Amino acid sequence: MAKEFVKEITSMDEDFAQWYTDVVTKADLIDYSSVRGCMIIRPYGYALWENIKTELDNRIKATGHENVYMPLFIPESLLQKEKDHIEGFAPEVAWVTHGGSEELTEKLVVRPTSEVLFCDHYKNIIHSYRDLPKLYNQWANVVRWEKTTRPFLRTLEFLWQEGHTAHATDEDAHEETTRMLNVYTDLCENVLAIPVVKGQKTEKEKFAGAKFTYTIESLMHDGKALQSGTSHHLGSGFAQAFGIQYTDQAGTLQYVHQTSWGLTTRIIGALIMVHGDDRGLVIPPKAAPTQVMIVPIAQHKEGVLDFAFDLKEKLSKVARVNIDASDKKPGWKFNEYEMKGVPVRLEVGPKDIENNQVVLARRDTGDKVIVALDELEAKLIELLNDIQINLYNKALKLREEKTSVAATMDEFKENLVGNPGFIKSMWCGERECEDKIKEETGATSRCIPFEQEKVSDTCVCCGKEAKQLVYWAKAY
């Protein structure tokens, strides 16, 4: 059978950046807006985000957190309170200077993140050890005035959830930081089928104002890394700056220990770049707005559409099923839903109806199978599971192929050119070497993985005694 696919999408190998842009727009995820760096998330893209959001929100609630909503604006003085924090964010905040035609006496920033708002609130509601822990989360939009933008990966305004918690002890906060990193890992690996490396950010890369930052890092098809979620142990720095204190059981005044953690619409960019192929998007079944698209064949013939709609109703009990009964050609529909990454296509035509069967085509491999009607539900569930697992395994295999070890700078540079991806190298722990590696190779430290190995004895850069293994890569 001759296979002709859409030529609208640039091939990955030819131009990965263009491929990405083609996919996000052709798959109807977004449209560009009239505001620089801001995107319109279209129904299909938003449905994808809603699925991710629901899965994550359930996990956040299951770990004892409550959702709240904080204001969009932060007074300048409030943002100033934590020194490192303001230094980190000041260059990229949007300012509100006027209300109507009147100049404001104090400028407001449009939140780039809400640590200070939560802190300002926590100082009012936390007084006793009995008030702890406070486990809050909010779903919101934030604004960061970025220089260069790309849909999902870096936009001026983006959607996310940000968790902000306050604990009695450093250990409790540390535990929370780990817990939420694990929640993100679970979401990425089991829902989005994206394998991640868990670890800690270096001092240079950690969150402004944090004691330390945990991160999950994933690897894209082009060998570039993407930070997919972060969980920060804020220590008591913010508590001291904001005066968030409680009286412990012994009657002593103590500062709280805080965490914050976030996951953004950027994860959609990761999903696209991890699973997508030259035909477009590939969405893992658990995240897919439509898991099964029914394409009727010769739908003008009597009974075909009725049959197809009956199937839709029946299958809707086990999956998210949709039907395209438009008068477009079947071939057009095949390509359209492949471009949109729908995991399974169900073809049903007069021949199938006659034989009590349908055709199932899977997006990940392109395989088609004929399935008898009486075992359709069971086969469909099996197929969706299989696709989910296959996508994860494929992504894991790709990451492993693109992960290399380097003991010297020459090796490091060779790997980066010959097989771009994660490079595992030992590091002395000095900022100087980290900076030098970035300057010479363009790669940055992605994380100090929790699962440490010793791939050599000395720092890849300076040759002195190495302290730890670091994952390095060029990153988005």
Partner RNA sequence: CGGGAUGUAGCUCAGCUUGGUAGAGCACUAGCAUGGGGUGCUAGGGGUCGCAGGUUCAAUUCCUGUCAUCUCGACCA
Site residues for RNA, 200-239, by CB under 7 A, read 205, 207-208, 227, 230
Q: Which of residues 87-146 bind RNA (CB under 7 A)?
A: 88, 91-92, 144, 146
**Whole-number Cα distances in Å, 18 to 13, 28, 150, 336, 455:** 10, 16, 11, 19, 36
Strand pairing category for 66-67 and 134-143: parallel
**298 binds RNA, rule: CB under 7 A:** yes
Task: Give me the least distance between CB of 125 and RNA, in Å please.
Answer: 27
**45 binds RNA, rule: CB under 7 A:** no
Q: Which of residues 277-296 bind RNA (CB under 7 A)?
A: 279
User: Is 228 within 8 Å of 217 (Cβ atoms)?
Assistant: yes
**37 binds RNA, rule: CB under 7 A:** yes
**259 binds RNA, rule: CB under 7 A:** no
Q: Which of 61, 331, 397, 431 binds RNA (CB under 7 A)?
A: 331
Binding track over 144-183 against RNA, x by CB under 7 A: x-xxxxxx-xxxx-x-------------------------
* Distance separating alpha carbons of residues 368 and 384, to the nearest angstrom: 14
**8 binds RNA, rule: CB under 7 A:** yes
Our CB check for RNA shows the closer of 261 and 427 to be: 261
Per the listing, tokens 């029914």 go with: 294
User: Is 76 within 8 Å of 113 (Cβ atoms)?
Assistant: no
Q: List helix spans (H) across 12-62.
A: 16-26, 43-62
Task: Give me the least distance between CB of 6 and RNA, in Å please.
Answer: 3
Cβ-based neighbour number of residue 277 at 10 Å: 18
Task: Give me the least distance between CB of 92 and RNA, in Å please.
Answer: 6
**Backbone phi and psi for residue 228, each to the nearest 5 degrees, phi listed first:** -105, -15
Which 3-state string (H, E, C) describes 240-286? HHHCCEEECCCCCEEECEEEEEEEECHHHHHHHHHHCECCECCCCCC
User: Is 188 within 8 Å of 231 (Cβ atoms)?
Assistant: no
Q: Residue 190 has what DSSP assignment?
A: I
Q: Which of 2, 250, 253, 417 binds RNA (CB under 7 A)?
A: 2
Our CB check for RNA shows the closer of 176 and 336 to be: 336
Region from 130-138, 257-265, 421-429, 455-463 binding RNA, contact rule CB under 7 A = 257-265
**454 binds RNA, rule: CB under 7 A:** no
Task: Give me the least distance between CB of 363 and RNA, in Å please.
Answer: 9
Task: Give me the least distance between CB of 160 and RNA, in Å please.
Answer: 7
Our CB check for RNA shows the closer of 339 and 466 to be: 339
Q: Which of 18, 54, 128, 452 binds RNA (CB under 7 A)?
A: 18
**265 binds RNA, rule: CB under 7 A:** yes
- Which residues pair with residue 277 across a beta bridge? 280
Cis peptide before 133 (omega within 30 of 0): yes
**334 binds RNA, rule: CB under 7 A:** yes
* Distance separating alpha carbons of residues 453 and 431, to the nearest angstrom: 21
Region from 245-253, 262-270, 283-291, 397-405 binding RNA, contact rule CB under 7 A = 262-270
Task: Give me the least distance between CB of 353 and RNA, in Å please.
Answer: 8
**Backbone phi and psi for residue 58, each to the nearest 5 degrees, phi listed first:** -60, -40
Region from 122-130, 243-251, 328-336, 462-470 binding RNA, contact rule CB under 7 A = 328-336
Strand pairing category for 257-264 and 253-255: unpaired
User: Is 221 within 8 Å of 273 (Cβ atoms)?
Assistant: yes
**20 binds RNA, rule: CB under 7 A:** yes
User: Is 353 within 8 Å of 347 (Cβ atoms)?
Assistant: no
* Distance separating alpha carbons of residues 193 and 171, to the nearest angstrom: 31
Q: Which of residues 49-88 bind RNA (CB under 7 A)?
A: 88
**11 binds RNA, rule: CB under 7 A:** no
Task: Give me the least distance between CB of 465 and RNA, in Å please.
Answer: 27
**476 binds RNA, rule: CB under 7 A:** yes
Q: Which of 11, 47, 330, 468 binds RNA (CB under 7 A)?
A: 330
* Distance separating alpha carbons of residues 166 and 246, to the nearest angstrom: 11
Q: Which of residues 365-384 bind RNA (CB under 7 A)?
A: 366, 368
**Whole-number Cα distances in Å, 378 to 115, 269, 310, 323, 347:** 47, 32, 17, 20, 17
**315 binds RNA, rule: CB under 7 A:** no
Our CB check for RNA shows the closer of 168 and 218 to be: 218
**411 binds RNA, rule: CB under 7 A:** no
Size of the site for RNA (CB under 7 A): 72
Q: Which of 5, 69, 73, 450 binds RNA (CB under 7 A)?
A: 5
Our CB check for RNA shows the closer of 133 and 280 to be: 280
